[in-house]
Amino acid sequence: MTSSRFDLRGKVAIVTGGNGGIGLGMARGLADAGADIAVVGRNETKSAAAVADLKQRGVKAIAVTTDVTDKAAVAAMVERVVGELGRIDVLINNAGMSIRKPPHELELDEWNKVIDTNLTSAFVCSKLAYPALKASGNGKVINIGSMMSIFGASFATAYAASKGGIVQYTRACANAWAPDNIQVNAILPGWIDTDLTRGARQQVSGLHERVLARTPAGRWGDIDDFAGIAVFLASPASNFVTGTAIPVDGGFSVMA
Ligand code: NDP
């Protein structure tokens, strides 16, 4: 009985940015719970490796090479997932990037790139997947925010705006799609060891030590820390949970 609440067999999940980092951690969790997975990203080599990893877990997995800032490409991606995997039950809007500059140095095209990748892509993917999520009968959308959904940082100009926006976008969709039995939630990762933060650690001096000192758990997060929350928010276990933004941060956001 308990395990059926977390059972994802027969379900299909799209994970944008599922070919590495936090996205791959979540995709692995969903695959271990039985879901078939569409990995969406631009880098074909990374996607092929992720698909091989996921298939080893006994599920179907496909790579759909897509730039999530390209609406036509996203439409083709959604069509291919429905065509090849038959349905869409779960959409994880995880693809993201950052350009680290203070507000007075960031250029408009840089601002647009970050907003398009982190926020507008979630709108486009969700809008285009909505008919299939509704048809699922118990659709789930999981948006990836950040500690920058709550806090600010001098170098996180467009990034913080995008991640604050994604929480409000999550709340709007949760209201709009509750009648369709689609739950929409956000995960707010703390500081996690991935390619993204390897770049940040090179650019922002002292960041590594500051995160360790500021995180009650006393460590950086690992991509495996996202498997459980992804399964919870993708499964019937979370059917009365919608519009929330759940920190997965080792206590970073509650440190006094
Ligand atoms: P990674 O750089 O490891 O992963 C980012 C993923 O996004 C890659 O798989 C990349 O795939 C994909 N991606 C980026 N741009 C595009 C695009 N235009 N179209 C399609 N895919 C794209 O970083 P993380 O795993 O750390 O980040 C994942 C998410 O978690 C992001 O939204 C990030 O903001 C968020 N986050 C991360 C934190 C951390 O500490 N690491 C903290 C808080 C939030 P490809 O290169 O193939 O396109």
Catalytic sites, residue numbers: 159
Please tell me if the CB atom of residue 25 comes closer than 6 angstroms to any atom of ligand 1: no
| Percent share of the chain, pLDDT over 70 | 99
Q: What is the mean pLDDT of residues 172-194?
A: 98
CB 245 within 8 A of CB 145: yes
Q: How far is the CA of 94 from the centre of ligand 1 (A)?
A: 6
CB 49 within 8 A of CB 73: no
Residues 210-250 pLDDT 10s = 999 999 999 999 999 999 999 999 999 999 999 999 999 99
Ligand 1: nearest atom to the Cα of 98: 34
Q: Where are the domains of the chain?
A: 4-247
Q: What is the mean pLDDT of the chain?
A: 97
pLDDT of 2 strictly over 70 = no
Pocket test for ligand 1, best of 196, 212, 219, 253 (most atoms within 8 A of CB): 196
Ligand 1: nearest atom to the Cα of 144: 32
Please tell me if the CB atom of residue 189 comes closer than 6 angstroms to any atom of ligand 1: yes
Give me the pLDDT at residue 256, please: 84
Question: Exposed (0-12), middle (13-18) or buried (19+): which is 52, by Cβ within 10 Å?
Answer: exposed
Residues 3-54 pLDDT 10s = 799 999 999 999 999 999 999 999 999 999 999 999 999 999 999 999 999 9
At which residue do the structure tokens 């500021």 appear?
A: 214
Say if domain 4-247 classifies as CATH 1.10.340.30: no
